[in-house]
Structures are given as C-alpha cells and as structure tokens.
Structure 1
C-alpha cells in the first residue's frame, strides 16, 4: 500500500514520516537549508505480514501544490497532517480538496505537535478537523494525536497504518495493462537510466518492452526495485524503480509527467471529454475557452475549457466539459485529474476522464451526449454495453480497450459475456451487439433484393453506395469485411466494384450477344490501341448506333470493355496492357514519363494517347504534374493483375483479394471499376444508370469512413 502525506507547511509531515520509518525524506540541499520540503520524498517500512508500506511525502507550501498533486496521484491512503497549535490552515483545506477530487476515500488524520498544546486545544483542533472533513471522502477518518518529538501516538498510528494495509490488500493487476507515472528520472553509475513512480495498473517484469509516452521512446526493462526491494516484477500499487535501456533513453529524455507503459497503450491524448466538479469556494463558473492548468498523475500541462452543456457547472456542482491540451499526455479513461488556475494560486476543481478522443466538432449533439452518458459508467463492461446500445451502435474495440488500459484477456471476456459480434479488418476490430448485427445483415440482403428488382439490367449496387444506405454506418474496411462474411455464407457476392445477390447476373440478350460477337474482333488485334468509336462501328457493320452503344455499355458492366473516352471503348485486356506500358515508362530513375513517350510506345495519335492518360488520371492510376506523370502503386491493380512483386507485397500485408466477375476476361480484376450506378456516362450529356462521368474520379472505398 502507498501512503501519501498531505497538509499545511510546517505541520510536521516530514518529521512524522521520519518517526514512522526512520527515513528523512528531505534529500535536497535546499530542503536541508530551508527546513521545508520542496520536492517529493520517499520512505518505506516493512509490515508485520512481510509486506512493505511505501510513503510519499509531499511539500506543504502553496508554491509547491503542483508537486503535491503529482505525489498524491496513485496513493492508496492519505495521511492528513494537522498541527495541534495551528489547526486547519489554507493548505490543509486545499490539500484535502485535492485528495477528495482524486477520489481517495481512505485516510487517517495525524494531529501533530500534540505535546505542545493543552487538552482543551486538542479537543478544539479535533473539532475543527472533523468540520473540515465533513462532506468529503474522509469524513469518517480517525484522528490520532501524535508527537514526533516525544513519540506519543507514533506506535498507535503505525498500528493503524498496518491494519489499513492488511484490509486494503493489493490492487488487481490482471484486468489492466501496465502503466507507471514517472516522478523521477536519474542515472546511477554502473546501472544507467532509472525512473521511479507508482504503478497505476497492470504489471511489468524484467525484460519487458515498454514505451515512454507521450514521447514514444522504446525501452527494455533491465531490472526492477518494487517497494524499495529488488524484484522480478512490479504490480499495480507498487512504488517502482525501473532500470531502462534503449536508444535515446537517458535521464534527460524522460521527465516527471511521462508515463512508462505497455507499448499498445501509447496513444497520447490532447482533447479529452471529462466530468468536472467545481469546488464550492469558486466565485463563478468556468467560461468558454478559459485557460487552466491540468494536473494528471505526475503530469502538469496547460489546457483550455470547452463547455459541453447548456450551462457551465456551477460552484459546488458537476458538469461535463472538454479539455483542449497545449501538449498531449498519456492517460486512460477513468483517470482522475485536478484543475488549477494559470497563476497556480488556487485549485478550481477536478474530476474524471471520460473520452480521450473528444471530437473537435459536434460536441453537443444528442448522439454525443448519449455516448458520454455511457462512458460515464465506472465499469468498462457496463460502459461498453451502453455504447453498443446507442448510436452509432458500434464500437472500435481495439481503441476502447487501449483507452481503458484493458488487458487482452479482459477484453476477450467482455466480448464473450456481452455476446459481441466482432468484425475484423487488419488492425481494425469493430464490435456490434448481436441484435444490431442481425438487423444489419437483414438490411443488406433486403436492399440488394430491392435494388435487383428495380435495376435488373445492372450487375449490382456499388459497395460505397450500399454502405451509405445501411445503418449502423460502418467504416468502409469493416463494411467490406461484413460483405465478405455474407459472401462466405452464400448471402451475397462481391463482384469487383459491385455487390449482388447470388444468382443475379447481367446478361446480353441473344441478339445483343450476336452483335457483340461481330464487333468484338475489331476492338482487338493490331489496332487494339486505337479501336473504332461507336459511330464507326455502327457504320462498319450497318447496325443502329443506339444499339451498338447499348451493347458496349452492357459489356462494360460485365468487365469486358472500358469506356476510355466518350463512345470510345477498349477491351479490358488492352487497358491492362496499357497500364503495364505506362508502368514500364515510369520504371526509370526519375519515376515519371511524358505523353509523347506513351504515344510513341502505343504507336498512336497524340489525341487518343492523351484521352487514355486522362482516363488513367481520373481513376488514380497515374498522377499528373504539368506534362509529367508517375504511377500510383496503390491503384495498379484497378484494371488488371498486379505485377508479381506487388502481388507478393499485398499478400504479405494481409490484403484481401477481390472477387472476379464470372464473365470478366482474365485481365479483369473488377467487373467494372468505373461503371457505377451513381456516376454518369460520357461528358455529362445524359445520366445513364451504370455508366460513369469521364470527368469524375470514383471515390476510394478504402479511404471512406
């Protein structure tokens, strides 16, 4: 158990700790010279049951309240020290308010200097203390008269501390990942960089890899001292000294306020939604964008208050605000904090972190208020269940576990207990309640059936268009995973850019197929890079131009051809071949090529070559700057297979290959990457369902959210 002192300056905190432990916690030369504590001091005493009681001695001067807050964060029991002659003083009240704001509910009051006051003054001071404690978490704390000079009451106080330690036991470490709030960083000869602090959650063992946050430095734990003893591990509630090794690790690189933590928890926060309780003594409520000093664990940073409610919290009341930080901090949802004014002259209030990823916009919508209501629940399981029942009805489980510092097995238990359906895509893990999942899959199937009924001649609905119609609206990668699951279950088919029901297919009529068989050979062969246009084909075969255009549009939907320019169709295999040619041209040190080089390789006219390149530009295959173009490696597979090297890289990255249309040729990765129902055909002349706008770039489904 960790015991922290609190109280007014010169009330005997350090002397009392020395009487209890035999250790003088004033270690600095200035502290010795001035006779007051300036920085945190630490001492330890063994308990009868073989454990160790750790003491954190804090300064009492009003100038060092920020140091007091750093020491008070993470303690299990507060030892409030009040001198019998002075009684309750200003820093007594401020320290007591800070302890209450930090949620510390276990404490003992030491009435020091009892040998210097008569019995009636003891009684008077005791009454003052009881009045000050009323309404706080320490209202029932015992008051023990002591004297560090005569030894009166020291054994009784020590016995009470040992009893409290036995009753407290140990913090549970299993459900949380490791976090240690750094309060000191120094170098020991022959050892290296050492950091000390209180383990806020989880456990750490020798050899573990850790991250220093918010800086992001990586380190390895070489050795551990827990509760002032060499140890193989440190667990929640221990005072620990960690010997760290790693590139850039030094005492200057790590400072008070940093957090040493499990690498998966490293995600500094700079916009945090919180519950704020204003102290009753405040003259007025906080105002919009009011500057404050935020104290969290051992960190202190500047922040601004953004009001989230219709009215700011009144003095003595609680409300929700957003804290916009000047610099990011490492934190966890549920952590306690304290706010002080920018002049460091008074404590304003404090509370609890709700959401480490507060939004910059739409902070006060009904949906956001409902989410904060859920996040305000103390138990992570209850908070997760409540979030799943509120819009947007899905939770990013990896982020939730990280921000609550949950261990992997703890998250797995929550998922099992709550019956959460998980949707995985690479690093993204989305969770939905089972009823929400069932409604979502039913909705997908129903919308596909309705779309096919209304559009029998279309191969399917665009994936992004379908995603925007379905509630809850999932991130694009997660929605693709849902569709892949439905495809495995036989309820849907992913056909390149389309989603359709099994059994649905666009087919040419017998007459249209005959027309296609006649005109297809003229699109290939030696003249494949400059095929005839629709009007030329109609004249060549004496077929109505409207009918030729319809046949080519239908074959475009099946992935056989692409409309590169208005009424100018190229075989899909030819388009893939032209992508390869452009890639070869760009495969030089400069990585770029010109339209003239491309024209010469195709042995084509400049006008057609430019139209082809503009087609590639629109669909992101090439990236143009002036007269130069380079290839976009992320879009090389849009019209054909990836080169071997890129395909292997995609497999190594765990990429999911897209399904290929049943009637697409061997080069077609998608049945029609540009033929989407939500785009127009040609140059905007007429909207045709299933066509595309030659001046528009289809949105990337990967980047959609």
Structure 2
C-alpha cells in the first residue's frame, strides 16, 4: 500500500512520517535550511504481516501544489494532516479537493500538535474538520489526535495504517505495465534509475520497456520494489528501476515521463474527458479556457473545449482537453486542472477517450459514443460501442488505450461473440448480430447487381464497400471479403467481386451480333481483322455497341485488344505467339520485317502486334531486334495448342514453359487504358501484366 500525506504547510506532515517510519523525508539542503518540504519525500515501514508500506510525503506550500500533485497520483491511502493550533487552512482545503478529484477513497485525519492545545480546542478543531470532510471522499474518516513531540497517538496511527493495508485489496496487476516517473538519477556503478509508482501491470528484470512520450526504448536491468530488491514490480508498488538503453542517461528523463510496455506507447494530445468543477470556483469553465493539466506526475498546458454547455461550479460536464504537448495516459486515468497562474485548483475528472476527434466532436453520435466509453468495465464499454455508429472499432487501439493485458483481446472476442477482421497487427471487430446483417446485405447487393448486369463479371470492391452496411474501412472490408471468399460464398477477381458460381453471360442480342462478328475476325484475314468502326459498318450495328461487345468478349478471354479498337481472336493471338517462337528458334533474334512477312500483314499492324507482345513480356526487345521470352510462351496459348516437337530447337524452353507458369489469362487486374473501363479476363493494347523474374541466364545476355 502506498500512503500519501496531504495538508497545509508547517502542519507536521514530514514530522509525522518521521515519527511513524523513522525516516526523514526532507533530503534536500534547502529543505533542511528552510525547514519546509519542497520536493517529494519517500519512506518505508515494515508491516506486521511482512508487507512494506510506502510513504510519499508532499510539500504543503501553495507554491508547490504542482509537486504535491505529482506525488498524489499514485497513492492508495491518504493521511490528511491538520495542526490542532491552526485548524483547517487554505492548503488543507485545496489538498482535500485534490484528493477528492483523484478518487482516493481511503484515509484518515491526523490532528497533529495535539500537545499544544487543550481539550476544548481539540474538540472544536475536530468538529471543524468533520464539517470540512462532509461531502468529500473522506467524509466520516477517523480523526486521530497525535503529537510527534511526545509520541502520543503515533502508535494508533501506525496501527490504523497496518489494519488498512490488511483490509484493502491489493491493486490488480492485470493490464500492461505503466510506471509514472517522479525521480530520475544516476547511481555510480549502477547507471540510470527511475522511481515511481506502478500504475498498472507488472514488470520483470530483462523486460523491454519504453519511455513515453519521448519514445526512447530501454531494458530493465534491476528492480527495487517497496525498498526491497526484487525480480518483479507490480501495480501498487513503489519501485526504483535501473534501466539501460542506447545512449540513455538521466538527462533524457524528466518527472512526468511514463515507463511502460512498448506496445502502450501512443502519446495523446486531444483527450475527451469528464470534468468536475469545484463548487468554490467564481464562474463556469468556458470555451477554450486555458489551464494547467496534472496527470500522474506530469504537468502540461491545455485548453478546454466544451462538448456540451459551459461547466458550472459544482457541476460535471464533457470536455475535450487540447494539450500543448502529448502525454502518456490511459482511459480511466484521473486528472486535475489548475489555473495558469498556479494559484488555485479548478477541478478535475477522468479521461474517457485518448483519441478525441478534432472535428465533429459535439455531434449526438459522438456524445453517445462517449457515454459508452465512460463505462469502467471494458467488456461493457465495448459491447455498447459496437451497438453505436459506425458499429465497428479497432480492438487493438481500444485495448491499448485502456492498458488491457494482451490476453484480454481474444477473451473479449470470445466472451462477446465478436467477428474479428484481421488487418495487419490489429483487428477490426463487429458484434455477431452486426456481422450477420453485414453478411446478408452484402450477398443481397451482389445478387441484385448480377440480376441487373448479367454481362458484367462483378462489382468493384470500392463501389461495393460504399453500399455495404455498416461501412467498414477499406482494409477491414477487404479482410471481410477474404473471409467470405474462403467460405466460398463470393469470388474475388482482382478489383471485382461476384457471387461464387456466377459467370458472365451474353444476352441473346449479343450472341447474335457475335455470330456475325466472329467470321470477320477469322479465316484468311485473321492476322489483319477489321477495326471496330469497320465492323460496325459491315454489319450495320452502332459503333458504340460493337465496342461494348468487344470489351465484354475481352473479359471472357475470347478476344484481345492488340491496339486501340483493334481486336484479334484469342486463338489468332496464340497462333502469332507460335510464329514468334519459330522465328526466335530459327534466328535467335528477329526483326519486325521478318514477323510481318510471316503474317503477311502491313508494317504498321505488325509493329502494333509486336508492341502488344512487348508490353506483356512475350517478347524481349533490344533496339530493332526481338526474341521470345520462354517464360511467357504459354501466356496466350490454350491447352489444345500442341507443344513443339522434341527435336525442335525451341523444344526445351517451350516444353518447360508449358505448365511451368500459370497463365495470367483470366486475371481481372488489367485495364484498357487511361480513363477507359477495365477489360477482365484478357489483355488489351494498354495493359501490363506483372513480369516474371528474369532468370540469371537472361540477365547475363
């Protein structure tokens, strides 16, 4: 258990700690000279059950309230110190308000200097203290008279502390490791040491950790927990941790840093929070109000952005804290705000969301999300969030910002029956009911699309995503499609999605038109077929209709667009590949003129054909010469094509190519040109399939 003192200056906090523990927490020369505490002091006391109680002694001067806050963030039990001769003073009230805002729910009041007053004064001050405590977390707390001079009451306070330690449950060590750094120094022969209270999780010797918000990595070399050497430090322990890192020194550290598990490093500077303003404030907290934010041991400037109405004195409201510099925090952490002149405490509250949006932060949807996030139980908060728009969230970020343990993620998925879509190192989750709705509507959208567009191979992924409900982020949507494809409910063809088993069908009119077009592309004129405009004139069908039909046939791999509006039958393209293979076998390298003579075509068309093959890697060009690429020999050939005879010079390469590489024909990820619609299933004059790696032999030539 960590015990913290609180109270006005010169009310005997340090003397009381010394009387209880035997340790003088004033360690600075200036503290000795002035007789007041300036910085945090630390002491330890063995308890009867073998446990060790840690003490954090804080300064009481109004100028050092920020230092008091740095120590108060990690305490479990508070001893509010009030001098019997002075009674309740300004810093008594301010420290009590801070303890109340930080939610320290266990404590007692030490009525010090009891030897200096009579019984009537003791009774009057006791009544005054009880009235002051009324309405705070310490309402009804014991008020024990004590004198550090005579020793009266010290044993009673020590006994109460030991009883509280036995009664109060130890902080759960669940979650990932975080320690708020309040001191950093160098020990000769040891190295850099940081001290602080472990806020969550546990750390062991040898663990890799990180200093946040700076992001400096480090390794734990040794641990001293509750003033004892240990191999482990747990939540609630006050620890000194010897760390080492590349070039790391105490100059790289400062009070307010957080030593944490490296997976938690994600500093925040826009934090949505619930703020309570103290009743004594003279006016409401308004828009863009400047404050000093105190969290754990960190102090940073901030501005208040109202998410509802202005927060009046004594009331609570939702705000966003826009920080001057990022801090390392966790959802559920408590904070305190003070005025910029450091003269008074204004209020405090609890962090809700570390990733508050900079825009649309006051919409009803956003406020509903904050209501769900405010649930302290992670499972309850997650379930409520998934019932609100956008009906999905990044589970890794959710778990990180709450400092949940790594095994909490699969447990949440299992216990809440969530659908998890893996996206890199994270998972986007939906509720089981929401996934069922998404699944049903997506399949319905595909069915409707196929019914309305039987001649199209599928719907584009992005278009389908925009129609899906809920609308998932693109990476998560692709993961969802992969899951449905693995279940064989849909098929993915590059950038297109279709129902499994669906095939593009020609309409009766298209079939009729194709029956008239096909003969024009075959026969003796197959190496010089008419272009789209010429075909339209020959069969008296609008040019646009013929172009649409040819594009559709390209998706079905019946034709290939070798040049703009110039389509060849797939069988003809395969035949030309064979001609090129023979030329390359006979001559090694061949010219465009030699290919032109083989196909008995004009030079312009022959060049267009060869450039088509160049783009798809079937031919390899060097200057005016070309040769066949044996690894692309089967690209446009069909299974019925005969392989070259074994005694052919090209046989070894050609035979190796057959069946050696899966044909790219049928792939949908090629497009017909800049700004033109994609052609699925085949190739066109502007598409470039991915090239196979060039073998070492080819590189040397």
Q: Deviations over 1:625-656 (max 9, x none)?
A: xxxxxxxxxxxxxxx9xxxxxxxxxxxxxxxx
Q: Which residue of 2 aligns with 1:320?
A: 318
**Residue pairs, 1:236-635, within 5 angstroms:** 236-309=235-308, 311-508=309-506, 510-511=511-512, 515=517, 519=521, 534-535=532-533, 545-558=543-556, 567=565
Shift of 1:559: 7.0
Q: Return closer, same or farther for 1:14/1:572 CA change in 2, 3 Å cut-off.
A: farther
- Whether the 8 Å CA contact 2:293–2:301 is kept in 1: the answer is yes
Residue 151 of structure 2 aligns to a residue whose secondary structure is coil
Shift of 1:496: 1.2
Q: Return closer, same or farther for 1:395/1:572 CA change in 2, 3 Å cut-off.
A: farther
Shift of 1:520: 8.9
Q: Deviations over 1:677-704 (max 9, x none)?
A: xx9858xxxx9999xxx9xxxxxxxxxx
The whole-number CA distance in structure 1 between the counterparts of 2:343 and 2:557 is: 72
1:671 aligns with 2:679: no
The whole-number CA distance in structure 1 between the counterparts of 2:526 and 2:242 is: 70
Shift of 1:572: 11
Residue 408 of structure 1 aligns to a residue whose secondary structure is coil
- Whether the 8 Å CA contact 1:557–1:675 is kept in 2: the answer is no
Gaps of 5+ in 1: 574-602, 617-639, 641-664, 695-705
Residue 32 of structure 2 aligns to a residue whose secondary structure is helix
The whole-number CA distance in structure 2 between the counterparts of 1:523 and 1:220 is: 76
Q: Which moved more, 1:406-415 or 1:378-387?
A: 406-415
Shift of 1:666: 2.8
The whole-number CA distance in structure 2 between the counterparts of 1:524 and 1:192 is: 83
What is the RMSD of the two structures over their aligned residues, measured on CA atoms? 3.5
The whole-number CA distance in structure 2 between the counterparts of 1:494 and 1:483 is: 8
Residue 320 of structure 2 aligns to a residue whose secondary structure is strand
Q: Return closer, same or farther for 1:193/1:689 CA change in 2, 3 Å cut-off.
A: closer
Q: TM-score, normalised by structure 2?
A: 0.80
Q: Return closer, same or farther for 1:87/1:670 CA change in 2, 3 Å cut-off.
A: farther
Q: Return closer, same or farther for 1:154/1:521 CA change in 2, 3 Å cut-off.
A: farther
Shift of 1:511: 4.8
The whole-number CA distance in structure 2 between the counterparts of 1:570 and 1:134 is: 92
Q: Deviations over 1:158-191 (max 9, x none)?
A: 0000000011131111x31100000011100011
Q: Deviations over 1:530-568 (max 9, x none)?
A: x98633666799987445312222135457889899757
Q: Deviations over 1:66-117 (max 9, x none)?
A: 1101100010001100000000000000000001000110011100000111
Gaps of 5+ in 2: 572-602, 617-634, 636-661, 686-701
Q: Deviations over 1:284-308 (max 9, x none)?
A: 1112111111100001111111110
Residue 283 of structure 1 aligns to a residue whose secondary structure is coil
Residue 150 of structure 1 aligns to a residue whose secondary structure is coil
Q: Which residue of 2 aligns with 1:44?
A: 44
Residue 359 of structure 2 aligns to a residue whose secondary structure is coil
The whole-number CA distance in structure 2 between the counterparts of 1:82 and 1:242 is: 34
**Residue pairs, 1:173-252, within 5 angstroms:** 173=173, 175-252=174-251
- Whether the 8 Å CA contact 1:556–1:672 is kept in 2: the answer is no
Q: Which residue of 2 aligns with 1:106?
A: 106
Equivalent residues, number: 602
Shift of 1:669: 7.9
Q: Return closer, same or farther for 1:604/1:250 CA change in 2, 3 Å cut-off.
A: farther
The whole-number CA distance in structure 1 between the counterparts of 2:442 and 2:285 is: 48
Q: Which residue of 1 aligns with 2:153?
A: 153
| CA radius of gyration, larger in | 2
Q: Return closer, same or farther for 1:48/1:563 CA change in 2, 3 Å cut-off.
A: farther
Shift of 1:415: 2.0
The whole-number CA distance in structure 2 between the counterparts of 1:38 and 1:467 is: 60
Q: TM-score, normalised by structure 1?
A: 0.79
Residue 439 of structure 1 aligns to a residue whose secondary structure is helix
The whole-number CA distance in structure 1 between the counterparts of 2:417 and 2:8 is: 52
Residue 483 of structure 1 aligns to a residue whose secondary structure is helix
- Whether the 8 Å CA contact 1:85–1:113 is kept in 2: the answer is yes
